[in-house]
Amino acid sequence: MDAQTGFIIPDILPYLVAILALLVVWQYHQMQVLKGRILAVDIFDRSGVRMYLFVVPADKSTCSICREAHGKAFLPSVVAKKHFTPLRGQCSNPMGCGGLLVGIYGAWPEARQAVERLRAAKSSGTIQLSGQEISAFINGPWECSISAAADRVAVHMLEAMVAEESKPDTAMRNYRYVIEQAKEMRHLPFVVPAYFRLVELLTRQGRYQEVVDLIGQFESRYKDRNTGPYVPTETQRGLMSIRKSRLAVQLKPAL
């Protein structure tokens, strides 16, 4: 009881106040992330990511610089350095090769082995995974590991990018999964790239109506032009709009 007011303060009240304060802090953190004031690497590090894997789509148009960096793994401390880049030079593709840095906790055997190799290479903080090692990494028993829930979207994104040339249907299925299931802050950076790669694959197969519908979904999802690290750039919006317009003209006679 408060001697001055006569009110009885329950013993649990201080705990409730502390919980409320934590919720307020977390909400503020989320707002800062969405506004781009906190970098994606900060989010990954706070989510328990133990390694980053750089991958580029299995696309014939990928430049030699990006292709060389495909499969490079990095410690979070390396990625957090100022001016970090996974490339040795500059991407020579005018449209970009679509390379992506994917954060993984990696609790299954193949991923754990990669993490252990990374930690052993403390001086450089980076290792190169071969194509065979990347396949083993993705096809390992990740769904049975303790990190399955945290790594699920990331693994689907990795599998999609690696499978584009050899298994396009698998790649498209995985890109759709990422688009639909990426809800957590750490997975939002995958969504826009997933849209672009899925549009590309559908276009190659001549599935133009699906492309138009997908771009319409993209435009609806990002109709609010908020700033931040996870929304499409004006250039990306323009590219989608141009492709949609051209395909709509092609489809018009068939309607």
Q: Are 52 and 71 in contact (CB under 8 A)?
A: no
Tell me what pLDDT residue 31 has: 53
Nearest alpha carbon to residue 184 among 11, 47, 36? 47
Residue 66 lies in a domain: yes
Distance CA 130, CA 111 (A): 13
Residue 210 lies in a domain: no
Least confident of 122-126, 242-246, 250-254: 250-254
pLDDT tens column, 145-178? 999 999 999 999 999 999 999 999 999 999 999 9
Tell me what pLDDT residue 41 has: 39
pTM, rounded to two decimals: 0.78
Q: Are 117 and 125 in contact (CB under 8 A)?
A: no
Residue 97 lies in a domain: yes
* CA atoms 160, 161, 167, 172: torsion sign: positive
- % of the chain beyond a pLDDT of 70: 80
Tell me what pLDDT residue 28 has: 53
Q: 175 CB contacts (<8 Å, ≥6 apart)?
A: 157, 160, 194, 195, 197, 198, 201
Residue 139 lies in a domain: yes
- Asked if the model's pLDDT at residue 36 lies above 50, the reply is no
User: Which domain covers residue 55, as residue numbers?
Assistant: 40-165
Mean pLDDT (the chain) is 84
- Asked if the model's pLDDT at residue 61 lies above 90, the reply is no
Residue 242 lies in a domain: no
Burial 179-205 (b: 16+ CB within 10 A, else e): beebeebbbbbbbbbbbbbbbbbbeee
Distance CA 175, CA 158 (A): 10
Give residue 225's identity as a one-letter amino acid code.
Answer: R
pLDDT tens column, 205-241? 999 999 999 999 999 999 887 766 789 999 999 999 9
Domain count for the chain: 1
* Residue 72: strand, helix, or coil: strand
Radius of gyration over every alpha carbon of the chain, rounded to an integer in angstroms = 22
Q: Are 66 and 130 in contact (CB under 8 A)?
A: no
CA atoms within a 13 Å half-sphere pointing along the CA-CB vector of 111: 28
Number of C-beta neighbours around residue 219 at 10 A? 14
Residue 239 lies in a domain: no
Residue 176 lies in a domain: no
Residue 224 lies in a domain: no
Cα-to-chain-centroid distance, residue 10: 45
Distance CA 171, CA 210 (A): 16
Going by pLDDT thresholds of 50, 70 and 90, the confidence category of residue 18 is: low
Distance CA 57, CA 171 (A): 10
Going by pLDDT thresholds of 50, 70 and 90, the confidence category of residue 58 is: confident
H or E, element range at 101: strand 100-104
- Asked if the model's pLDDT at residue 44 lies above 50, the reply is no
